[in-house]
């Protein structure tokens, strides 16, 4: 790797990690915790993307990652014994998506059916919907989450989907898992576009922004506008995907979609550590 490329990557990582590290510190995740996480990710990536064959060669992984063989062994042993890595995650969004897109749970014009919580065998119910789209997740827990987020309402013994999306509660397991999922999607696209071999081969990656910034009042108005037109656009894309791929076509399949985010950032939050120290009047001793 050329020195300029390495330094540019280091600078980019430093910038993008600042809001994440702020979140980690605020929730008690220490540098040592994060260092262990990075070791896991380095070993995972070395095995997944840079291994010469299916065999796991710890010495080769150590060379690729810069970790010691002892550290590599510790990471692998921890992965093999950590049952939490294999526990299923709650997926209320999958349930809502199925409710809006599966012909078995929609009526005329694709409108989600109103469902009883439970029903006799062979009849449609919310419990059946959860079994199909959330595996062994409790139907009651899923319903409580969807109700709390305002995505489902109950009237006269029937459940009605009121939104196509699910908004987890602050710092819930679902919201934290969503952070990792969103980050993976965003950085996968960004990395693929950096490494593209030909012009025009990259994935869609565009943004619009106010060149001179905005006042807080304008930002609030912009946020309300985005939520209205952005939701309409995403629902149109959702309908397009449902209409253009029935899931039965042969060949390997990959997850795909579009993620949009309204970002608000202060210029001072992106300054370097040296600039921050200079601003605070700290000098080397």
Does the pLDDT at position 89 exceed 70? no
Chain segment 128-175, per-residue pLDDT in tens:
999 998 877 789 988 988 998 889 999 999 999 998 887 766 677 777
C-beta of residue 108 within 8 angstroms of C-beta of residue 143: no
Instruction: Give the residue, 162 or 185, on which the prediction is more confident.
Output: 162
- Alpha carbon 260 to chain centroid, angstroms: 12
Distance CA(9)–CA(7), nearest Å, equals 5
> What's the predicted TM-score (pTM) here?
0.60
C-beta of residue 172 within 8 angstroms of C-beta of residue 179: no
Phi, psi of 159 (to 5 degrees): -100, 135
Confidence (pLDDT) at 237:
93
Confidence (pLDDT) at 83:
45
Residue with tokens 């992106």: 270
Residue with tokens 């702020």: 22
Instruction: Give the residue, 115 or 5, on which the prediction is more confident.
Output: 115
Residue 83, Cβ neighbours under 10 Å: how many?
A: 6
E strands of 73-157, at which residues? 152-155
In the chain, domain spans = 1-86, 92-161, 172-205, 207-285
Confidence (pLDDT) at 3:
66
Asked which of 15-29, 42-56, 87-101, 141-155 is least confident by mean pLDDT, the reply is 87-101
């Amino acid at each position: 790797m050329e020195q300029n490329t390495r330094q540019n990557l280091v600078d980019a990582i430093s910038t993008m990690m600042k809001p994440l590290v702020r979140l980690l510190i605020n929730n008690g995740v220490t540098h040592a915790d994060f260092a262990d996480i990075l070791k896991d990710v380095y070993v995972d990536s070395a095995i997944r993307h840079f291994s010469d064959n299916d065999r796991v060669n710890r010495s080769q992984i150590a060379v690729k990652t810069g970790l010691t063989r002892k550290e590599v062994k510790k990471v692998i042993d921890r992965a093999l014994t950590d049952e939490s890595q294999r526990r299923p995650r709650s997926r209320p969004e999958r349930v809502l998506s199925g409710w809006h897109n599966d012909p078995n749970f929609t009526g005329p014009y694709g409108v989600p059916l109103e469902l009883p919580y439970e029903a006799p065998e062979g009849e449609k119910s919310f419990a059946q919907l959860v079994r199909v789209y959330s595996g062994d997740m409790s139907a009651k827990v899923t319903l409580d989450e969807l109700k709390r987020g305002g995505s489902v309402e109950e009237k006269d013994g029937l459940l009605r989907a009121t939104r196509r999306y699910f908004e987890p509660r602050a710092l819930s397991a679902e919201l934290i898992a969503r952070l990792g999922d969103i980050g993976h999607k965003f950085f996968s696209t960004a990395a693929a576009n950096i490494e593209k071999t030909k012009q025009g081969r990259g994935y869609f990656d565009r943004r619009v922004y106010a060149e001179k910034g905005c006042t807080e009042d304008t930002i609030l108005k912009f946020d309300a506008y985005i939520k209205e037109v952005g939701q309409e656009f995403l629902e149109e894309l959702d309908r397009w995907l449902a209409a253009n791929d029935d899931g039965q076509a042969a060949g390997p399949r990959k997850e795909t979609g579009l993620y949009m985010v309204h970002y608000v950032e202060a210029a001072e939050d992106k300054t370097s550590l040296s600039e921050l120290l200079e601003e605070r009047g700290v000098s080397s001793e």
